[in-house]
Amino acid sequence: MMMRHKLHYNNKVADKGHFVVYSIDKVRFVIPLSYLRTDLFKELFRLSEQEFGLPTDAPITFPCDASFLQYLLSLLQYDVSFDLLPLQTKTS
C-alpha cells in the first residue's frame, strides 16, 4: 500500500521494507523495497540523477509530479506490463 504525504523533512523514516521518495511537487511517497527491482524504478532513479544529481543531504526526488507518480505506482500495484508503455524510445 502506497502512502502520500505532504513534504516534511523531519518526518520519521519509512517502515521496514519501504523507502521514501518525493515527487517534483514535494509530495512524499512511501514505496515497497520490492519495487526497486522494476525497470520502471531503475529508469526513475536514472532520470532523477540526470535531473538533480545524486542527493547528499536531501531526499530523493523523482522528476514527475505526484499524480503521474501515483499513476505509475497504481500500474505496478496491478502488475501492468511496462512493455506497453513508452517510457523510453526503443531502437532496433
List of residues 6+ apart from 77 with CB closer than 8 A: 2
Categorize the per-residue pLDDT at 77 as very low, low, confident or very high, splitting at 50, 70 and 90. confident
pTM of the predicted model as reported, rounded to 2 decimal places: 0.70
Per-residue model confidence (pLDDT) at position 48: 95
Look up residue 91 and give its three cell numbers.
531502437
Average pLDDT score over the chain: 79
C-beta neighbour count of 1 within 10 angstroms: 6
Angle between helices 66-77 and 39-52 (to 10 degrees): 160
Percent of the chain with pLDDT over 70: 73
**Measured between alpha carbons, how far is 77 from 38 in angstroms, rounded to an integer?**
12
**Measured between alpha carbons, how far is 71 from 21 in angstroms, rounded to an integer?**
15
Would you kindly state where each structural domain of the chain is located, as residue ranges?
3-80
Per-residue model confidence (pLDDT) at position 90: 45
Per-residue model confidence (pLDDT) at position 15: 85
Query: Average of pLDDT values for 31-59?
Result: 91
Per-residue model confidence (pLDDT) at position 51: 93
Amino acid, res. 35:
Y
